[in-house]
Amino acid sequence: MSTGRVNPNMRLEDQGITGLGQVHYNLMEPDLVELALSRGEGRLGKGGTLLVTTGKHTGRSPKDKFVVRTPGVAESIWWENNPPMDPDAFARLKSAMLEHMKGRDYVVQDLFGGADPAHRLDVRVITELAWHGLFIRHLLRRPERAALDEFAPDFTIINCPSFKADPEAHGCRSETIIALNFEEKTILIGGTEYAGENKKSVFTLLNYILPEKGIMPMHCSANHAPGNPVDTAVFFGLSGTGKTTLSADPARVLIGDDEHGWSERGTFNFEGGCYAKTISLSAEAEPEIYATTQKFATVIENMVYDAETRALDFEDDSLTPNMRCAYPLHYISNASPLALGGHPKNIIMLTCDAFGVLPPIARLTPAQAMYHFLSGFTSKVAGTERGVTEPQPTFSTCFGAPFMPRRPEVYGQLLKEKIAKHGATCWLVNTGWTGGAYGTGSRMPIKATRALLTAALDGSLAQAPFRKDRNFGFEVPTTVGGVPDILLDPRRTWDDSAAYDAQAEKLVQMFSDNFSQYEAHIDDDVRAVTIG
């Protein structure tokens, strides 16, 4: 039995998925909220939001993600970063999951990955949980209703949290599994209720497919000047570095907050929504994002709330510091309806430096930009992955290693070529600590970061005086209106200059040790700017 609207020639039975209970095809937001509530999957919040929790998995499980090693991808996957799964093991996994699904009700959403029709990926997402269907409907791009009548997926994702994988039978690590099979064009997710696995699976697909077309997939947010898409800026960064917060600038038009492509025509969002962290969110600092937490059908994930009033507690991280809300892009008043921009004029690489060494902003040459892109230095912020409870300094190449199926140099070379062709200016922005390391210093003031970014994007920062940093070789402004000069020189913010020097020396050595893995794959101009 089924409900909803679907291509009559592309039901689940036509894909070999049979014996299910009721199947709900392409329900819209009101029906998905009602279905989730009727199943007891969550509670109704203020403004008609949906309040849900995800059990023991409150972040991604990167160690449980596998790529099936088939002949077509054997030579192109970065296997050191993407553990392989044997095709026979995947066949057993898929058979067991489909058997487990029999008799159970499922929700199906047919959606697009990519705002540019020339490069989009048509994705079918099959979810056991109705709220997962609502989540992915927000996060991907929604076809016009009439288009559903002829929708045929390029890839299919099956997400079944109640299914537990068998490591011995299925060639995996635990009962949690995310398995990508590029040959069968299928992704299987089991043993986790964390909704972020759905969207990041689509990002991983596009990260593999698009480079063959000469398109740069980017783990970044993006915006452009009002009425001027040519003045586009992109913000690379891992979760917690400020991608969502800094791109949602009311003075600019939001293209998207997390995943984009850079094609021969410019920038395009992969998604149709946002997945914003809500810890310490306030109406004063981030009014647009805060407002979404009381809008109809926004998914409020892993937040503590008052049982009677349903008022959200933005400071209580007892469930997880990785509390989030998921909402459609149009809930942000200055969001672009097309989710398209021009070729980036400014490229900002966001890092969260838990050592308190890096300046709040630095200007990079194209070679330095590739160096820092490949390095991907930042800190994992508490809660974004299982087991991360405080900021952990790390190197995540391309500012998104968990989602990169190809070797990092593939993406680095694409970025380098596009910067050279289109003349983008590159900046490294530290949203982490100042005045000392994590535990001693304080987070970089958001007001100062915004002022520096405004100056970078409007061109005035280029006219400021700069100094060459003695540790990292990049250029750092010495004075910027609205920003205390002392903040621009991190060594001066420390009470003990010798302690800063020791910490900087430690970080330089970490950069050097990490980058040695790329030495054989880079050009001389990048090799010339390596640190240490």
Write the pLDDT tens digit of every residue in 170-202: 999 999 999 999 999 999 999 999 999 999 999
- Rounded Cα gap, residues 259 and 206, in angstroms: 10
Q: What is the DSSP string of 62-89?
A: GGGEEEE--TTTTTTS-TTTS-EE-HHH
For 2-41+61-213, CATH gives 3.40.449.10
pLDDT by residue (tens digit) across 376-405? 999 876 555 566 556 678 899 999 999 999
For 344-377+389-528, CATH gives 3.90.228.20
Evaluate whether 529 touches 518 at the Cβ level (below 8 Å): no
Fold of 275-331: Phosphoenolpyruvate Carboxykinase; domain 2 (2.170.8)
- Rounded Cα gap, residues 239 and 259, in angstroms: 12
Residue with tokens 């000469």: 214
- Cβ-based neighbour number of residue 460 at 10 Å: 12
Residue 4: strand pairing partners: 25
Evaluate whether 117 touches 138 at the Cβ level (below 8 Å): no
pLDDT by residue (tens digit) across 397-423? 999 999 999 999 999 999 999 999 999
Query: In this predicted structure, what is the pLDDT of residue 388?
Result: 58
Sheet with 50-52, side-by-side order of all strands: 43-44, 50-52, 299-301, 324-328, 273-277
Q: What is the CA radius of gyration of the chain?
A: 23
430 has pLDDT over 90: yes
Burial 255-269 (b: 16+ CB within 10 A, else e): bbbbbbbbbeebbbb
Q: Is the Cα torsion angle 18, 19, 25, 27 positive or negative in sign?
A: negative
Evaluate whether 351 touches 237 at the Cβ level (below 8 Å): yes
Catalytic residues, by residue number, are 60, 200, 219, 239, 243-244, 258, 324
pLDDT by residue (tens digit) across 289-339? 999 999 999 999 999 999 999 999 999 999 999 999 999 999 999 999 999
| Lowest mean per-residue pLDDT among 116-130, 157-171, 243-257 | 243-257
Q: Where are the domains of the chain?
A: 2-41+61-213, 275-331, 344-377+389-528
Residue with tokens 């921009």: 341
Query: In this predicted structure, what is the pLDDT of residue 58?
Result: 96
Helix (H) / strand (E) element for 493: namely helix 490-493
**Model's pTM, two decimal places?**
0.93
Residue 107: strand pairing partners: 24, 127
359 has pLDDT over 80: yes
For residue 169, give the amino acid letter: A
Distances (CA, A) of 61 to 94, 173, 232, 394, 395: 19, 11, 33, 17, 18
| Confidence grade of residue 134 (pLDDT, cut at 50, 70, 90) | very high
Q: Which residues contact 53 (CB under 8 A, 6 or more apart)?
A: 42, 301, 302, 319
How many Å separate Cα 172 from the centre of its chain?
A: 24
Query: In this predicted structure, what is the pLDDT of residue 383?
Result: 55
| Confidence grade of residue 5 (pLDDT, cut at 50, 70, 90) | very high
Evaluate whether 269 touches 339 at the Cβ level (below 8 Å): yes
HSE (CB half, 13 Å, CA atoms) of 337? Answer: 1
